[in-house]
Each structure stands twice: as structure tokens, then as C-alpha cells.
């Protein structure tokens, strides 16, 4: 039985992925640079577009009231306190090389998991998607929580290891070797691109 696959691009945002004035997560952005994650993600994104694999872009982006955020833990309190990651703000935008093109939906979320508080699961079901390929930052947060949810929702999951990074390399390594294999397969960008060729 053939699978219908979609690519989920998770949290490749200026504040998280790029060093500079708008960066809110310098250790994470440093690892993104060190691992050359954005170059790999761009290559895989272009391959998905060429292979006509549906692409969904997911980001952390809050409404102006911050009341629609589903994560109410203290570590998320800094966003409303400082007016950060508002939808439409420069720091919440996708990095230029990975920005959506026409026809690629953008899913805004108010927590770590790409599915909670969003229509993503229902949209994937409506489009007949039964396999998701995930890449994003941070590995142990959005990627892991999204992979767990996808797996529990009946989707097959592939995580693209070299499209991911965490602020501490040990967190990334633990996620890709110990936890993520419990919820899907962990593959390289070359393996995924090869499967689409």
C-alpha cells in the first residue's frame, strides 16, 4: 500500500534559527549554524517541492492578547511579558531560505507541539496524508513532541536528523538515538531525498 507523505517544517524562525539582534535562543541558533541545518533543510524543502510532496510550515506565533497560547507554563511567560513572537513580528518570521511559497500553508501554534490547538491533524487527514517527514528546531522540543503526537494519531513518522538541532548537542543526540526511534524512523536528508527521486 502506497503512502501519501507530507513534509512538516517546524519552527525554522528568525528568533530561533539565526544569530543576531532578533535571536531569542543563542545556543540553539549556534547549533543550527554549526550543524548547517538551514542548508540541509533548504535542500530537502526544494526536493519536496520538486517531488510535489505537500509542505506545511509550522511556527510559534502568538495573537496580540497571548490568550490563545495553549502552553501556560512559566517558561512561556516571557513571551507575553516581553511582547515576543507575535504573529507578524520580525522575530517570528521564517528564515528567508525556508519561507513558504504560494500554496504552502502556515500553521501558527501557541505551544511546543505542532498539533495542539491547530487544525494540522484534521487537515492532514482530509488530504489523505498517512506519513509525515519532520525537520525542525529544537529536536527535543517541537520535533519530539510533534513526532509523539503524530505517531499516537496513527501517522507514520520519519525524522530528518540533519535538519534538526538542539541548544545542547547532548539533547539532540539523546533525542535522535533514544526517544525519537520509539515514534518513527530517524533518517538523513539524503535518504529522504533519495526516496523521492
Instruction: For 63-101, write each residue's pLDDT tens digit.
Output: 999 999 999 999 899 999 999 999 999 999 999 999 999
Name residues whose C-beta falls within 8 Å of residue 93's C-beta, 6 or more positions apart in sequence.
Answer: 13, 14, 99
Measured CA to CA, the distance from residue 22 to residue 2 in angstroms comes to 43
CATH topology of domain 5-193: Rossmann fold (3.40.50)
Q: What pLDDT is recorded for position 3?
A: 83
User: Is residue 194 over pLDDT 60?
Assistant: yes
* Cβ atoms within 10 Å, residue 101: 9
Report percent pLDDT > 70 for the chain. 99
Q: Taking residues 89-115, what's their average pLDDT?
A: 97
Q: What pLDDT is recorded for position 1?
A: 46
Measured CA to CA, the distance from residue 107 to residue 54 in angstroms comes to 14
**Cell 525542525 found at:** 136
Domain ranges of the chain: 5-193
Q: Taking residues 104-120, what's their average pLDDT?
A: 97
pTM, whole model, 2 decimals?
A: 0.97
Cis, peptide link before residue 138, omega less than 30° from 0: yes
Q: Taking residues 113-141, what's their average pLDDT?
A: 98
Name residues whose C-beta falls within 8 Å of residue 144's C-beta, 6 or more positions apart in sequence.
Answer: 175, 179, 180, 183
Q: Taking residues 49-65, what's their average pLDDT?
A: 97
Determine contact, residues 113/145, Cβ cutoff 8 Å: yes
Determine contact, residues 112/140, Cβ cutoff 8 Å: no
Amino acid at each position: 500500500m502506497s503512502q501519501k507523505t507530507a513534509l512538516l517544517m517546524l519552527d525554522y524562525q528568525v528568533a530561533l534559527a539565526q544569530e543576531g539582534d532578533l535571536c531569542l535562543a543563542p545556543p540553539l541558533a549556534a547549533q543550527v549554524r554549526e550543524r548547517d541545518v538551514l542548508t540541509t533543510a533548504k535542500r530537502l524543502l526544494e526536493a519536496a517541492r520538486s517531488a510535489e510532496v505537500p509542505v506545511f510550515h509550522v511556527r510559534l506565533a502568538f495573537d496580540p492578547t497571548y490568550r490563545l497560547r495553549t502552553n501556560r507554563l512559566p517558561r512561556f511567560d516571557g513571551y507575553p511579558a516581553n511582547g515576543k513572537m507575535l504573529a507578524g513580528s520580525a522575530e517570528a518570521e521564517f528564515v528567508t531560505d525556508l519561507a513558504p511559497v504560494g500554496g504552502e500553508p502556515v500553521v501558527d501554534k501557541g505551544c511546543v507541539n505542532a498539533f495542539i490547538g491547530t487544525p494540522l491533524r484534521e487537515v492532514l487527514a482530509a488530504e489523505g496524508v498517512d506519513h509525515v517527514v519532520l525537520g525542525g528546531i529544537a529536536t527535543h522540543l517541537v520535533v519530539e513532541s510533534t513526532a509523539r503526537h503524530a505517531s499516537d494519531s496513527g501517522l507514520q513518522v520519519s525524522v530528518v536528523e540533519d535538519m534538526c538541532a538542539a541548544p545542547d548537542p547532548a539533547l539532540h543526540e539523546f533525542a535522535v538515538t533514544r526517544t525519537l526511534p520509539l515514534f518513527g524512523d530517524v533518517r538523513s536528508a539524503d535518504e529522504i531525498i533519495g526516496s523521492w527521486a
